[in-house]
Amino acid sequence: MSEFATSYEDVTRIRIEDPARIARLAASRSRRTVADTDGTMMIIAADHPARGALGVGSRPTAMASRTEMLDRMREALAVPGVDGVLGTADVLEDLLLLGALEDKIVFASMNRGGLQGGSWEIEDRFTAYDAASIKASGFDGGKMLTRIDLQDDRTSFILEATAQGVTDLARHELIAMVEPFWSSRPGGPGTKVVNDLSPEAVIRSIHVAQGLGATSAYTWLKLPAVDDMERVMDATTLPTLILGGDPAQDDPATLRATWKRALDRPNVRGLVVGRTLLYPADDDVNAAVAASVAMIR
């Protein structure tokens, strides 16, 4: 008899009656690793909710339903050419129980404490996975969001914490996926954090991020697709994945064209996209994901 859950009610029942099944399924999971690819990957991301970010475009609570999000995740992960997933423990373990992580590359989100809109948002505490738990789960690496605001003293904390995360992951021979942004609060303290997406700011963030930790041997970058990607990507030799963008601001066709230009750079090795593909304007998840896979295959 399969140990996989057959319904969302079954997921809850297992969590009550047999929570140790999560570890058993993690240990027995059929795995692919980055080494099983040519280094080019399509990763579906679902770690926004843990930071209190539930909105997609004009829908402020689009990601509020966990079962709907899991439906969309499972549909996306089933599209041929999708390599894996990025998420927090709650999401990844639901998918694990449902059998959706078989033969998938898995990246674990590590710092989700910088809640969207919080006065402390830049001080993005590591409240999710750590390197030891990622290794124990048989996953492939950890992702760290690292926003740099020169006017916010909390930035020094996140730089130190990211450096420690990079070092710890490398000790376990796991990928450290660092997502840097040069950020500020143009409206002053307590107002919205805004990321500077100019080529110059992204280049500056790359140089800071790739220098964090005791080794860069296992460091990858997760970067936005911006103007002048040839010059931007000349700032690093590290393998890089392109993030999804802002579904509230970006036209899908324009966004895909921007991704395509970034993917033309030799050290750009794929996409890590979440809300843009999981909640497309026409709600056709399969078509949105398949079109993105086609760009990198």
In which region does residue 278 sit, left (phi positive, over 0), alpha (psi from -120 to 50) or beta (all else)?
alpha
Summarised one tens digit per residue, pLDDT across range 168-227 is 999 999 999 999 999 999 998 889 999 999 999 999 999 999 999 999 999 999 999 999
Mean pLDDT of the chain: 95
Residue 184 is inside which H or E element, if any? strand 175-184
pLDDT tens for 218-262 read 999 999 999 999 999 999 999 999 998 766 566 777 888 889 999
Give Cα 257 distance to the centre of its chain. Answer: 21
CA dist 231 and 95 (Å) reads 38
Q: Classify 42 as helix, strand or coil.
A: strand
Query: Where are the domains positioned within the chain?
Result: 8-296
pTM: 0.96
Among 8-22, 33-47, 164-178, the least confident range: 33-47
45 sits in which H/E element:
strand 41-46
The CATH class for the domain spanning 8-296 reads alpha beta
pLDDT of 244: 87
**Lowest-confidence pick of 29-33, 151-155, 256-260:** 256-260
